[in-house]
Amino acid sequence: METETILVTGANGQIGTVLTEELRRRYGASAVLSTDIRHSGNNNILFEELDVMYKDRLAVLIKKYGVSQIYHLAAILSAKGEQNPKWAWEINMAGLFNILEVAREFNLRVFFPSSIAVFGGMTPRVNTPQYAVLQPETVYGISKVAGENWCQYFHQKYGVDVRSVRYPGIIGYQSLPGGGTTDYAVEIFHSAVKGETFECFLEPDSRLPMMYMADAIRATLELMEAPGEDVKIRSSYNLAGTNFTPAEVVREIQKHIPEFKATYKPDFRQQIAASWPESIDDGHAREDWGWAPEFGLPEITADMLAHLREYYQATIS
């Protein structure tokens, strides 16, 4: 493996927390610079405060550490973005633009996370194809569609080695999501382990594409480590893990915790979920760089419950 120095933005977020750990394991602790708008509180890792709106600061860090790759995870998610659309647009767009410009200037490889939120009500919802109508109904989705197109533009025009996937909802025990529509699928496991009744903000039959954190991290690294000629799509790849409804998660959890119960109180996030696909056709990712997910709902449930039980037992004792 070539020597890389990797800068991660949004490193304290749901995916960043886990991805930086895996990057450190693979490339070495001193090769991974975590950045976020606020310090993580962990003094044992290489960390710099960075607001992605400031390109000059970004360039200073790239020179100081000799950065060769950026994973640009800093963004405002779907539900939070709807509370303040202009602010979400500015952060998501200006942030990406700064990253693409420094990538061009310093010849960096870039990872840009897109999302199932690029799709909207006009898109076929079952096995949504790679090339489908992109008419998103959230500012987050609009910023991701624009972002994907800018990535492709920087690749075609300036040869920037930018790679991207459209993540489904991501489920992991290691970190909490913040401000998304798929967040229920993490929170529900915490409630179950704590012995609480879960109040779900989506309808029981609201089916969405989902993926276990381990699969998401592996997909990200497999794409970033693939030979350049295999990465044929430079906007963003459809990516599938599994898909399920809240009612199905409840039934799966009840196989482990029979007394677990959920109630339903759908809010504005239900409308967002209803505009997104139920399932994704990720044939291009499979064909181009060999993607194959490993975790279905039964595996996710068993693993989440085991880890969260351990976590809550350790915090109680």
Residue with tokens 């499979």: 286
Q: Which of 151, 281, 298, 282 is nearest to 222 (CA)?
A: 282
User: Least distance to ligand SER from the beta carbon of 15, Å?
Assistant: 9
Terminal CA-CA length for the chain? 42
Give the integer Cα–Cα distance in Å for 25 and 45: 12
Shortest Å, Cβ 199 to ligand SER: 18
Residues that bind ligand SER (CB under 6 A): 77-78, 115-117, 140, 167, 169, 180-182
Inter-residue contact 78 to 180 (CB < 8 Å): yes
* Min CB(171)–ligand SER separation in Å: 10
Q: What is the DSSP-derived secondary structure letter of residue 47?
A: E
DSSP H helices in 128-257 = 139-158, 184-194, 213-225, 246-254
Active site annotation includes 140: yes
Helical ranges in 66-196 per DSSP H = 78-83, 85-106, 139-158, 184-194
Q: CB-based contacts of 217: which residues, under 8 Å, 6+ apart?
A: 15, 18, 19, 22
Give every CB contact of residue 278 below 8 A, 6+ residues apart in sequence: 125, 126, 207, 208, 209, 243
Nearer to ligand SER, 5 or 10 (CB): 10
197: DSSP letter: P
Q: Tell me whether residue 23 or residue 76 sits nearer to ligand SER (CB atom).
A: 76
CA angle 98, 162, 140 (to 5 degrees): 60
Kindly state the smallest distance separating residue 310's Cβ from ligand SER, in Å.
Answer: 25
Among the listed residues 71, 140, 167, 173, the single catalytic one is 140
Which of 163, 269 has the CB closer to ligand SER?
269
Nearest-approach distance from CB 242 to ligand SER, in angstroms? 14
Nearer to ligand SER (CB atom), residue 108 or residue 240 = 240
- For residue 78, the minimal CB distance to ligand SER (Å) is 3
Closest CB to ligand SER among residues 180, 241 = 180
Of 165 and 308, nearer to ligand SER (C-beta) is 165
Q: Which two tokens stand for residue 255?
A: 């196989």
Residues taking part in catalysis = 140
